[in-house]
Amino acid sequence: MGEQTTAREFHLPLEQIAGASADGALRYLEYRGDMARLGLAVNGEPPFADAAASEPAPPPAEPAPVSAPWCVTLLSPAVTLSQLRQLLTFFAEHGWPVTGVDTLAQSDTRTVLRFQIDAVLDFSTAKHACLQQAEKLKADLVLQPGDSQRVPALAGFDMDSTLIDAEVIDELAKITGIGEQVAAITEAAMRGQLDFRQSFKKRMALLKGFPETRLAEIAAELPLKDGAAKLLGALRALGCKTAILSGGFTYFAHYLQRERLPVDFVHANQLEFAQGALTGDVIEPIVDGARKRALLQQMAEDLGLGLDRVIAVGDGANDIPMLNLGALGIAIHPKPKVRLEAPQAISGFGLDAALYLFGLNDAQIGKLTQSGL
């Protein structure tokens, strides 16, 4: 029989954690610029024999206030002491002092640690360093300004492959028997290899003759992206206005708004029908990347909001302009080009993981859920 695993809490400096040679499953880490509280699942001899140890303590109800200029959030299915050591070494090698750490989530399927960093950074350079380190850790590592760790007042969302787990135009094409042909154009456009406006017109021309009667059937079968309902519901409960800004179609965006998700505003492309079938033409103005950004900026102005209260969420190349507009631009399961060009990116979790970037922990998110989400 194997040795029994027990949970223990160790009190020690971060430098001692970074120098540890042992490994183990991390339960939590709390640090306030003094001694760290490190919760580990210990199997056999404890890794810090000379450190003060105690029974695990309950997690704080709320994370500490953010006072540092930068935050780096680690999102992983399960964090090990070895991964934590690698990350602390990464911070030290870049000269990024850690002034605080909070555990925002700890469960069997996700661990989220937020590190406050007191350093002067070039954001683009630091972001790409974090992306490279994330690949080594096999996790997500998200850099953001410290003052962006708050609930936004306005959030703009792409629809296809962001709020729903499908590209609607590809679903229409499958019914007409040209699914592979249209899907290839869509993929090239989302990767930034084709101009969106040109690709959109080309795909619509191929869909000429699609019957209007099939739209309701497709709308009812569109799968939501994992975490979409939880995130949109939480934002509604927190008073944040939300908008769909889609290169897809108003018919499906309004269906989501009416039947599936709490969304305040919808901006998307209109379908043109004649005698019950798609004409193959497009109705201007096309909602492309530039228009998404302009619409989001106009909504902020109409609501009297500064761009520091605005965020955007998307996955494709046509989302990049709006992702770079406000306080946060979160690419969810992004294409490679978007992962590199978006300010923030989350690849390993659903949409609800964005809540951690607003400074919320699982206890706070759970209260929102209990309140009726």
Q: Which residues are catalytic?
A: 158, 160
Task: Answer for the pair 282, 204: CB distance below 8 angstroms, yes or no.
Answer: yes
Sign (positive/negative) of CA torsion 269, 273, 278, 284? Answer: negative
CB-based burial, 324-356: b 16+ in 10 Å, e otherwise: ebbbbbbbbbbbebbbebbbbbbeebbbbbbbb
45, 44, 40: which is closest to 78 by C-alpha? 40
Distance CA 7, CA 359 (A): 26
Distance CA 226, CA 89 (A): 33
32, 71, 276, 265: which is closest to 159 by C-alpha? 265
